[in-house]
Structure 1
């Protein structure tokens, strides 16, 4: 017994000692009585199984309206329809077989094309019917065929269009008097599984995600005009129809100049290569259904950043035709103190030019780090960047390249210079041929706050991979935080008159300050940072909005709401949560009303980037609320970018059957090389370059895009559009 008591006493003493050293999980306390370890951050998606969002039965009735009609000249006929069947009741057949018709107009009949009509026909009496192809406007008939229906009959009718193109063709099932006594009795004719195919060529009019759809996610396609009542999903390898569904939700779309219809084939979950075929002649590009579809695409989107590296030699071993020696590697002049020069080598060229900007750089690197934090298993060490193979996920290697440059942009007094640029944009030359002097332009309150947010997030992203670097990032925030707090005014620097570099003008800094406070609370748990964020929200309640480079508040709200300690904030927590839900629901409302399920109300410079940013916000909402509709909204933004749009284009170079080849990118232009994995800006209805300005005034907003190098307002590329798409793809894969 004495020995047992001695052991028990030793165990208690050991427990006390372990607890004092923190090994039993208590948080270490700093001199300000604040926990130095981070609060619990929950960033994984809710546990939602595939069964909960793959519907057991697809709804083929809601918002379905048949595109087939019946008419009688001297006959009496009525019809009822489902998406795959027409029941026609013939009360009185009239005098001729054409007296009663089941017909469909608006069918494109192109000269030289062969057309095949197939259908299943059943009649309650034995009788003849007639099928005809003709011109709905003039009544001219191109071809007819008379068929005897004896019970259930499969019919097939082929004809070749030898006349000029007709865009309002008519197909008619003539169901009137066939000259026999049978048709004089009241009877019903059922016509089902009607399909009209262009047997000569695929037209690829149906819009799909040209990369493909992951097995467990929603799968939708868009028809740019009324292409019938049903669509088929066809296995390309076997040419078999694996799914048939209804074409629904006709929406007049002013932004595209179309009336759009939707098909839902979410229940197709067998991996393979497929195409969609409409009831009336339309087809889609081929696409894939499978798992892990977006890994290679995300790798190339990430490798784009390596091509953007400044003051760094791009080796032919990995950069191929885009290789060049190190560029812009001389000391930079401090603009407001021209006697000083500093080292700001490194970082990413922002876009198609060679400027480096803190505002856009922090946005881009935040997207990369938050994507890694949310789904680290998605990112591998295999993107083909210079650091590939070092055992660290390439996304962290690439992000670190920018982080180390951002550290150089921090002045010794804590402010952060806003950009490193030359006085003017160079010509179409390689960056190593640009010999202009580099200038760093004065610090701004937005860049200082943005720097703090980014370094705080970095301290979390790297804590397990490189704790020393993570600690260094957090240490860097101290001087900048002091400067930010002691400089309450909004400070922005406009370009000098002799500079033509990009400006990235902002109109406030409340959102950056709010984000900075929330990010620091996220990283440290120190209540002073949360209080600072609250103060900035009180001053400007719009500070919580946005996931762009200029409006960053939603990042701050996300970090706050995903923090396990946030609920302790009571009313403030509920306010921010409700605001976040309202913002996400507004996006869903736009998506649900749009024919292509995009979140874009307007098409301005960088519209594709805005779509991707909205996808980020919707995934944030999914994490917070667990509502699958938010994830589905994010999926639709990726689908739009990757081909399900009115231009039928995947906006990422080198991906999809139809993608950009002439992006506005000086390096690629100077090397006459192809830049793969770059997301272009997309339609810009403001027509801000000489190319889009030449498009006719009748071109709809969603189609003001030109795949030309000089169309910089629609076809340039940037780091912060690529980063946003990487985030979305990593979350929906």
Structure 2
């Protein structure tokens, strides 16, 4: 009897432990998340990290208010040891698509609060603009005071006939980081990112500030005001055709921490030196840089000026003309002596050791095309692109400080958009090659971390996420979407330390509180929106000079032999905010907010995506096929003639049919999307009772796997075709959930037209629809509904039975021209 009682007590204890909300091993296991949140239909992954041997078999999502389990999943992928942890795993809850506030629970461990909605990134880009305004030199709107008004006095300009200590007005711009020196390279790059952010995502940004940064609207988005602040300073740093400066002040700035207006590091009058770009190595004190030419800095000037000229053309014509003229002279300056311009240092060995410059020339020449098409400039840009296909750090696990800068090749993105055919595909392949280098390292760990832990690793992380995003935008290939999201998640808390790397964002989460900044140290001023440097390799940290933590390390248990991060004023290597990194993050946040908005405008039915963004004039032509392909040749030729891409969802039967082999190869070669449509064209659920399944999960899985196996013979991997269209376009919520468990997204045609009736034939009596009826159903819907065909997935068939003589694909040219005439962009369903 006593044994039975003990056994009962033991069983009750086990049950209680399994369902308790209390962490089972609070010192041993953690769940890392994106503290900012996740869009409803986006990639949603957390990381399990444990110092024990435990890895959960399943996890639950628990509603914050009701405390009820709303989602349970086995989608946990173990990865083993990483950094300080013995076990890690990816917890994928992308299949959950309800907005709200939740906790993830696994093996008794609770995550921080998980927020899911399509507004999670709203206002984040504008929030980070606060840090940019706070970094302003000249007049600082945060302090409501002026500083560095005497800048600056030239050095090294003898070859241009400029005596040392000649005064040039160089007041303005941004302080580089927590110090107050200013670099043309980082300022031009930051300016370009801000201009891009406004150009690509104007709807994200608000107008709450005047041009000087003080409160008050001025009719311009604040991000454009900030970009102009950068442009105005760059104009001062390039005052004449053959005069250009690389930096203002130097590392004597680092002697002590102070508020900007108290800057007296350089003696009487607070004069700060302006370093002329002469294309030669420069030495101050005992340190000599490795400058070889004029291109790297001057080309960055040219790019920023050209983009600025384009954006201000409609609102400030005089300013636009000035910028265009300065862009030309900056490009000429860049060509004076091809090579790289490095920064100068006086008291310490730390410089911005930029070692590449052809990427800057590529962007500068690509930017010439912003004003008008320039074939010669594009060809020159392409030649530079071929000289540095992949930004070198992508293939490395280390690099010197700012050795390869910018950290992403913006030229590839801007140039690819101007090219077509094989030339464009070549540039796109350069992006893919670089991403694959990082992916080879990232796929071995649960954080998908492949970015090296060098100084400013967070800047590299943001840049890499942007490259993944641009690659997908250019190609429609979403192979690296999850990798991109993992890098974004890393910045906001899905990292070993569980902290956001952006000061104050989100304000409810763990973010930097004690950064390496005079503003916070001396005055306790918040540096809202500042992106800190990020973790570094432990061996780098141990080799640095002058680092001494000011307090106990709150992240001590998460430090490792791999990398360290400290939220401590004393650590300038991991916790110093940077202006240029923040500007890059502003672009990425604007992109993310726009993407979330776009996703929220999509339409879903029973969990399947049945319409794209209903606010955009985009249409995706979707063709399905199983037995027939009589329209294949004509469809392929029409798409080629009209220069558009479409999407083809084909069964395993179709892929294996030897008669269709040549057609499939040509569809793939032409860049069309090739996806799955089931292997045997099974009917999943009853026509009359949709909830009644006609297949088991095992049958579903095996059939779909066979479909992808058939696709593999054409070199189509599952990761290349993550959208799946169900056979007969008939499914239920269970089929949707099974699809998600396989990491795929179910899609279906947009209801409202009769396009999918193009397979019918006269003997079907009342179900038969003529080509004219089908065509009219499409045009009538477009002309009678508020949003027309915006975001439509128009489903047609690649072939039909011989009994249908009235082939709709004969009208395909007319349909495409109709859509184009009405302003629709036609693209693949995954783009």
Contact 1:363 1:549 (8 Å CA) reproduced: no
The separation in 1 between residues aligned to 2:234 and 2:349, in whole angstroms, is 19
Tell me what 1:529 maps to: 377
Q: Which moved more, 1:368-377 or 1:200-209?
A: 200-209
Whether 2:65 is the aligned partner of 1:210: answer: no
The separation in 2 between residues aligned to 1:354 and 1:393, in whole angstroms, is 26
Query: Is the alpha carbon distance of 1:667 and 1:466 closer, same or farther for their aligned partners in structure 2, counting shifts above 3 Å?
Result: same
The separation in 2 between residues aligned to 1:549 and 1:390, in whole angstroms, is 38
Match of 1:596 among 421, 441, 447: 447
The separation in 2 between residues aligned to 1:289 and 1:614, in whole angstroms, is 24
More strand by share: 1
Tell me what 2:312 maps to: 462
Match of 2:187 among 352, 361, 367: 361
Count of residue pairs the alignment pairs up: 542
The separation in 2 between residues aligned to 1:389 and 1:224, in whole angstroms, is 46
C-alpha displacement of 1:698: 10
Structure with the larger RCO, 1 or 2 (CA within 8 Å, 6+ apart): 1
Whether 2:90 is the aligned partner of 1:262: answer: yes
C-alpha displacement of 1:361: 1.0
Contact 2:137 2:171 (8 Å CA) reproduced: yes
Q: How does 1:491-570 map to 2 (within 5 A)?
A: 491-493=340-342, 495=344, 498=346, 503-537=351-385, 539=387, 541=389, 550-551=405-406, 554-563=409-418, 566-567=419-420
C-alpha displacement of 1:729: 1.7
What secondary structure, in the 3-state scheme, does the structure 1 residue paired with 2:199 have? helix
C-alpha displacement of 1:328: 0.6
What secondary structure, in the 3-state scheme, does the structure 2 residue paired with 1:650 have? coil
Contact 1:305 1:348 (8 Å CA) reproduced: yes
Query: Is the alpha carbon distance of 1:158 and 1:577 closer, same or farther for their aligned partners in structure 2, counting shifts above 3 Å?
Result: closer
Contact 1:232 1:245 (8 Å CA) reproduced: yes
User: Residues 161-211 of structure 1, C-alpha deviation per residue, up to 9 Å, x if partnerless?
Assistant: xxxxxxxxxxxxxxxxxxxxxxxxxxxxxxxxx545427998882111111
User: Residues 569-617 of structure 1, C-alpha deviation per residue, up to 9 Å, x if partnerless?
Assistant: x5433322222222233334444332112342x2111111111110111
RMSD: 3.2
What secondary structure, in the 3-state scheme, does the structure 2 residue paired with 1:463 have? coil
Whether 2:176 is the aligned partner of 1:350: answer: yes
Tell me what 1:168 maps to: none
User: Residues 329-380 of structure 1, C-alpha deviation per residue, up to 9 Å, x if partnerless?
Assistant: 1141001232410000110001010011111112212222222222221112
Query: Is the alpha carbon distance of 1:504 and 1:493 closer, same or farther for their aligned partners in structure 2, counting shifts above 3 Å?
Result: closer
The separation in 2 between residues aligned to 1:333 and 1:646, in whole angstroms, is 46
Query: Is the alpha carbon distance of 1:205 and 1:483 closer, same or farther for their aligned partners in structure 2, counting shifts above 3 Å?
Result: same
Tell me what 2:578 maps to: 718
More helix by share: 2
Q: TM-score, normalised by structure 2?
A: 0.60
User: Residues 688-724 of structure 1, C-alpha deviation per residue, up to 9 Å, x if partnerless?
Assistant: 3554799999942565011111100010000121122
Match of 1:475 among 325, 338, 343: 325
Tell me what 1:406 maps to: 234
Contact 2:408 2:464 (8 Å CA) reproduced: no
Query: Is the alpha carbon distance of 1:514 and 1:711 closer, same or farther for their aligned partners in structure 2, counting shifts above 3 Å?
Result: same
The separation in 2 between residues aligned to 1:488 and 1:545, in whole angstroms, is 25
Contact 2:23 2:109 (8 Å CA) reproduced: no
C-alpha displacement of 1:429: 0.9
What secondary structure, in the 3-state scheme, does the structure 2 residue paired with 1:243 have? strand
Contact 2:246 2:343 (8 Å CA) reproduced: no
Contact 1:634 1:728 (8 Å CA) reproduced: no
Match of 2:536 among 661, 684, 697: 684
C-alpha displacement of 1:636: 1.8
Whether 2:275 is the aligned partner of 1:441: answer: yes
Whether 2:427 is the aligned partner of 1:576: answer: yes
The separation in 1 between residues aligned to 2:256 and 2:14, in whole angstroms, is 62
Tell me what 1:299 maps to: 126
**Structure 1 residues not aligned, in runs of 5+:** 1-95, 99-127, 133-142, 147-154, 160-193
Contact 2:155 2:164 (8 Å CA) reproduced: yes
Query: Is the alpha carbon distance of 1:527 and 1:721 closer, same or farther for their aligned partners in structure 2, counting shifts above 3 Å?
Result: same
Q: How does 1:305-454 map to 2 (within 5 A)?
A: 305-314=132-141, 319=142, 323=143, 325-336=145-156, 337-382=163-208, 385-386=213-214, 388-422=216-250, 424-425=252-253, 426-435=255-264, 436=266, 437-443=271-277, 444-454=294-304
Tell me what 1:185 maps to: none
Contact 2:31 2:111 (8 Å CA) reproduced: yes
C-alpha displacement of 1:665: 1.2
Match of 1:674 among 513, 517, 526: 526
Match of 2:334 among 484, 489, 498: 484
Q: How does 1:111-150 map to 2 (within 5 A)?
A: 144-145=10-11
C-alpha displacement of 1:448: 0.5
C-alpha displacement of 1:467: 4.1
C-alpha displacement of 1:410: 0.6
When Rg is computed on C-alpha atoms for both structures, the one with the higher figure is 1
**Structure 2 residues not aligned, in runs of 5+:** 157-162, 278-293, 395-401, 594-831
C-alpha displacement of 1:501: 9.5
Contact 2:132 2:583 (8 Å CA) reproduced: no
What secondary structure, in the 3-state scheme, does the structure 2 residue paired with 1:525 have? coil
The separation in 2 between residues aligned to 1:97 and 1:590, in whole angstroms, is 56
Contact 2:45 2:94 (8 Å CA) reproduced: yes
Contact 2:55 2:78 (8 Å CA) reproduced: no
What secondary structure, in the 3-state scheme, does the structure 1 residue paired with 2:101 have? strand
